[in-house]
Structure 1
Amino acid sequence: MKNYPREERIDMIFTLGECHKNCILASRVYAQKFPERNHPKPTVFKRLLHQFEETGSVNYKKPITRKSVTENEENVFTIIGSLIENPNLSQNLISKSTNISQSSISRIIKKQNFYPYKIQLCQELDGNDFENRSRN
């Protein structure tokens, strides 16, 4: 269904009321009443009528977003707690111990502003290091 402005959707509902919910007739009457506007097909009227009867509004429905099953507070607490306790744990080990997929663990770690890499400290070079390396 094309996105029609709110005023046009209201006019469509009024036209449907005048035509006693006959979508085909409402489409024709609407085209005669408003020749300068786009002329919606009867299926548009049918969907708009169904939406209006269901919700009582001509506003578009907001899309339903699916809530993640793995990102509940308990799992987040478990993952972040294990990382704080032992920062050297890999995502693979956490995945095996918690039975949560690696991709979910990675997503949770990123959302909590943790970094999925390990910091590796390098040793500084001493004066004897060059000699030790030359002998080999």
Structure 2
Amino acid sequence: ECFQNYVASARVYAERFPNREPQSRMAFQRLAIRVRETGQVQPDRNKGKTLARPVRSDRAPEVLAAVQLNPNDSSRRIAIDSGMSQSSVVRILKDNKMHPYKMSLHQELHGDDGIQRMNFCLWAREKLLQNEHFFRNLLWCDEATFRSNGEVNRHNMRYWAHENPHWIREFDNQRYWTVNTWCGIVGRRIVGPFFFEGHLDGETYNNFLIYHLPNLLIDVPDEVVGNMWFMHDGAPAHYSHNVRQTLDEQYPGRWVGRGGPVNYPPRSPDLTCMDFYLWGRLKDLVYVLRPTTPEDMMQRIRNAINSISHEEVLRAVDSLSSRLELCLANDGLQFEHLY
């Protein structure tokens, strides 16, 4: 139509397709040359690429021996020591079904912690044999601190763009504030939040149990509250005499904690859905945007709680039964790396 007039071709293209990106004269000239030389309109995407060269099979034992000698060696270090390319080392490892597993971080255990964990798991297993939904009738509760400079889970954050926007998050470690938060889980419900001002001590916590917790449980059916167990960890505020006395009155023979009818094992965040589930889940949601004020943080916590489905909460609670069995199978030691 334009008789190999590339300037005219570019102009006609722009007129016919005004919503598309304009093409230059050189683009049409390259197109004409490609059609003439190859007979193809689309360019060959593989042209100029270097095909992967096969790895010499006699080098594989050297790489596998290096990994067996030191499983923590990086593929880059093995490549340097063996004089091979890093891609060849990685290919050998993959061909031999090897995978770079990451280290798991776990709460350190002391003394007879393992025995206490075993005792708790055996008690809980017995309760589950009597009532398979026992954990749904237990009020799991805990406190956590939300910080203005809280760490963002960058694995869950993405910024889609044609070019790198150099997305950053500023934080101020010199001036920051905190929001101390109480939450609970019973069945499929998240109870709370309740926000404490200042340091949490035994008196403050006892007042919370007497004057505020009943109001937070107002939406929980009476038949659940009437038979509900209470569970908290062994934090200093939880162990005060007044707190234990209040719990004995409100939940006679039905509470778990340090100094209670049933002892909760120390250093065991992997056995309460507050630690292995709720706090991490809430902080992932709250810290997506940088908090501006304590009031803003509190509202974000409320919004995050409201956004979590009842089904998700119930799955976390029900997962405790399998955690018990893993803990028992591992003699009360850490087990989440096996989960």
TM range (shorter): 0.3 to 0.5
TM-score by length of 2: 0.22
Q: Going by fraction, where is strand more abundant, 1 or 2?
A: 2
Q: Going by fraction, where is helix more abundant, 1 or 2?
A: 1
Higher relative CO (Cα under 8 Å, sequence separation at least 6) belongs to 2
TM-score by length of 1: 0.45
